[in-house]
Structure 1
Amino acid sequence: MPPPRRPAVLRGRVFRARDVLAAGLLSPSALRSSAWRRLYRGVYADAELPDDPDLRISGACLLVPAAAVFSGRTAAHLHGATELADAATPVEVSVPPGVRFGPIAGLRVRRTVLPSSDVTVAGRRPCTTGTRTALDIARTEPLVEAVAALDVLLARGVVDRAGLRRSLDAMPSPRGARRAARAVVLADPRAESLPESRVRVVLACAGLDAVPQYTVRDADGGFVARVDLAFPEYRLAVEYDGVWHGSPGQLGRDRRRLNRLTASGWRVVFVTAADLRDPDALVARVTAALGR
């Protein structure tokens, strides 16, 4: 079977099907070949381009009305918080209530009035400001995921806690304002991973307030380890055990680190992704460890 025909003018490009068909660059059957990736209804891309949020955003730009701006996790990605979205995350756009648009598979369309002060440009795309982006996520997403996202936005300098609180106070009590306020209180820029943030929030919601990224020192003040979460008065650390811990050589480093912690009188509770799927059991484990 001959390889799919890939006109040079379309290589590395995102395009609308109707445009290339009208120009005679591709036939309908050629458009369905493996050379092209369908992003949305009527929008395609060179299949050799990486399938990532930037590609999906480029495709969305060929569909959305002029009044639309990117919002939510898509805006967070444009502001530099790239870990908050992947190719499977729907591209989110906000459009004024009177604009007819959607629904379109792969896009999340929100209808809302955005004052000009809440709109900016990031990555050459119109999007909500960092503060509006953070508060939209905090208002609309489950608390654990919202706080994890705020942790990233704070750590990247996209927003600051004081600015979030001022904006919250100025908001006219929109839907989800109470949830957003709770998320802002729980957010912490010291977190270094999304799973770590999730563990911290699960524990905090149960009344167990752990210190993120705590430095453990020995009796002489020497460095022992930096742990994900700590209850210093109990000498208890809570560590998220991610996939990277299985990388070559990591097991030995982890064991030596654990030995140093143990020698300094600390105990460690290890948490995995499976534990996060059963938060009640996770809280019970940590509570029991604190009781000991």
Structure 2
Amino acid sequence: MPPRPFVPPELTVGPFHQNTAFAAGLTRHQLASKCWVRLFRSVYVHHLVELTDELRFEALRLAAPADAVATGLTAAWLFGVWTPPPGETVPLHLALPNRGEYREAGVRTSRLVVDEGDIGTWHGVPVTNPERTCFGLMTRSSRMEATVWADAFLYRGLVTKHGLNRYADERPHWPYVRRVRAALELARTRARSMMESRLRLVIVYRGVDEPPLLNEPIYGPDGELLGIPDMGYPVRVPFGLEYDGEQHREPDHHAADLVRENRLLVVGNYPLLRYGALDVYRYADRTAAQVAAMLRRCS
């Protein structure tokens, strides 16, 4: 019977640097056993520990240089602005201010040109500040997606349109600054999700002249709140637009949607057009045409 592996209890709760393992009494040979999983150079975790996004990022912080900062999608995830699609992990994006790249499998690193104040901390984690993060994501996106990023950061109060415009004005020769300025013209502060933003922009970019209002409460004749649609048009016969994400397929959520939709129509004479991801990505022309037709009928 093989000897029982030596497992210091303090190494079973999260990632650790190999120096911590040596201090706990492990040898290099023991670290190479199946009992331990190497996540990055010199950073390991016990094989029974669940590999969450939070743990992977914590492990990367142990492995990366001390002056490395989270940026890009990783920073957006830390700020709570963005989450990866179901089944995918958070990409690990690090930047090293003003020096060469740091190479690590599964990690995208880059040299980062920063100005004073571009780097801060978020719950103790070195990170590009929200303004710098949002600006960087906008410059690497299409105009539509740049607006989506601006909406997301604005909704959470992490940036302001004035601040982002000022940031762009102070960097007139940076790549894609014009794209940022153009995207900010369409950005709004009340878009509660990135897919809501995309649905709104599908309509705007495909020729519907009048943009919808966002998250306006709808009241019945007696002043009772009937609901708050994602988007709405306060025309002669008001109507709304709703984006249904994955959570709307859950039985309880779907049942609540039906109750609200029926109350809006019966009590408030307020119809809803409901759309999903395919209506945004695959059938965008049809979606915009339907909204335009409804707008003409109800105006």
Matched length: 289
Given that 1:240 and 1:270 are in contact with CA atoms closer than 8 Å, whether structure 2 keeps it comes out as yes
- Map of 2:80 onto structure 1: 81
Distance 2:276 2:122 in 1: 35
The answer (yes or no) to whether the contact 2:168–2:181 under 8 Å persists in 1 is: yes
- Paired AA for residue 93 in structure 2: E
1:290 and 2:289 are equivalent in the alignment: no
Change (3 A) 1:252 1:20: closer
Q: Structure 1 CA distance, aligned partners of 2:197 and 2:158? A: 17
1:20 CA drift (Å): 4.0
1: CA distance, partners of 2:239 / 2:27 = 63
> 1:30-66 CA distances to partner (integer Å, 9 max, x unpaired)?
6563x55553455333455554443222222233233
What's the offset of the Cα at 1:16?
Answer: 4.0
% identical aligned pairs = 31
* Aligned-partner Cα distance in 2 for 1:181–1:91: 28
Counterpart secondary structure, 2:192: coil
Aligned twin of 1:125: 125
Q: Which residue of 2 aligns with 1:261?
A: 264
Distance in 1 of aligned mates of 2:142 and 2:121: 27
1:57-76 correspondence runs (5 A): 57-76=57-76
Alignment-derived partner of residue 215 in structure 2 = 213
Please tell me whether the aligned partners of residues 102 and 110 of structure 2 are also in contact (alpha carbons under 8 angstroms): no
Structure 1 residues 36, 56: CA separation in 2 closer, same or farther (over 3 Å shift)?
same
Amino acid in structure 1 at the alignment position of 2:274 = F
Partner of 2:278: 274
Deviations 1:88-133 (A, max 9, x none): 121111224532422x332221222212321112221211112111
TM-score, normalised on structure 1?
Answer: 0.83
User: Which has the larger displacement, 123-132 or 276-285?
Assistant: 276-285
Label 1:173 to 1:277 Cα distance change in 2 as closer, same or farther (>3 A).
Answer: same
Retained in 1: the 8 A contact 2:101–2:111? no
1:11 corresponds to which letter in structure 2? T
Residue 117 of structure 2 aligns to a residue whose secondary structure is helix
Instruction: Look up the SS of the partner of 1:239 in the other structure.
Output: strand
- Structure 1 partner of 2:99: 98
Q: Relative to structure 2, which stretch is displaced further, 85-94 or 170-179?
A: 85-94
Residues 100 and 283 from structure 1, CA distance in 2 versus in 1: closer, same or farther, beyond 3 angstroms?
Answer: same
CA RMSD of aligned residues (A): 3.1
Which AA in structure 2 matches 1:15?
F
Cα distance change on mapping 1:126 and 1:273 into 2, 3 Å:
same
Deviation at 1:172, TM superposition (A): 2.9
CA distance 1:261–1:54, shift in 2 (3 Å): same
Deviation at 1:228, TM superposition (A): 0.6
Quote the residue 1:116 is aligned against.
116
Tell which deviates more after alignment, 54-63 or 215-224.
Answer: 215-224
Q: 2:247 aligns with which of 212, 221, 244?
A: 244
Q: Distance in 1 between matches of 2:69 and 2:254?
A: 46
Distance in 2 between residues matched to 1:268 and 1:22, nearest whole Å: 63
> CA separation of 1:38/1:90 partners in 2, compared to 1, >3 Å: closer, same or farther?
farther
- Residue identity in the other structure for 2:233: F
Verify the 8 A CA contact 1:10 1:46 in the aligned structure 2: yes
**Pairing of 1:136-151 with structure 2 (within 5 A):** 136-151=136-151
Three-state SS of the structure 2 residue aligned to 1:62 is helix
Task: Answer whether contact 2:6 2:26 (CA < 8 A) is retained.
Answer: no
Is the Cα contact below 8 Å between 1:139 and 1:177 reproduced in 2? yes
| Structure 1 residue matching 2:167: 3-state secondary structure | helix
